Amino acid sequence: MLSVLAIDDSRTIRELVRRALENAGMNVTTADDGLDGVSSFGESAFDAVITDINMPNLDGFGVIEAIRSGQRNTRVPILVLTTETGPELRARARDAGATGWLTKPFDGAVLVRTLKRVTGAPLS
């Protein structure tokens, strides 16, 4: 079972992500901002991270940089899930170490397939 950390300041998005992933048999931990997310990442082992970009306290770029420069699990796949679509922001996220980029509103089936693909889980 995949264990996923989902970081977003929107309670609605966190719940939509949680529901989609749990319905696919994944274990989901949520965090409501970047600082909370980085703290949660340090406390547990995750197979993947999903982060928003625009959040209070620590944005998604800060989350990606903190994970990639951390002491453990620095190669974990990180997906950005955001309303942003600008190519310069995508490039910045990729340069920081993001694995992929999905835009809101999102399709739960696409999110599940993308997570399975980036983690190497069976696509069944």
pLDDT at 123: 82
Q: Indicate the CATH number for domain 3-119.
A: 3.40.50.2300
pLDDT tier for residue 5 given thresholds of 50, 70 and 90:
very high
Which three-class secondary structure state does DSSP give residue 26? coil
Could you tell me which of 57, 48, 75 has the C-alpha nearest to residue 9? 57
Mean pLDDT, range 49-77, rounded to an integer? 96
Cβ(51)–Cβ(7) below 8 Å: yes
Q: E strand or H helix at 64, and its extent?
A: helix 60-68
pTM of this structure: 0.96
Nearest-angstrom CA–CA distance, 23 and 87: 32
**Per-domain residue ranges for the chain?**
3-119
Cβ(91)–Cβ(112) below 8 Å: no
Residues listed for the chain: 124
pLDDT tier for residue 88 given thresholds of 50, 70 and 90:
very high
Per residue in 18-35, pLDDT (tens digit) is 999 999 999 999 999 999
Cβ(66)–Cβ(37) below 8 Å: no
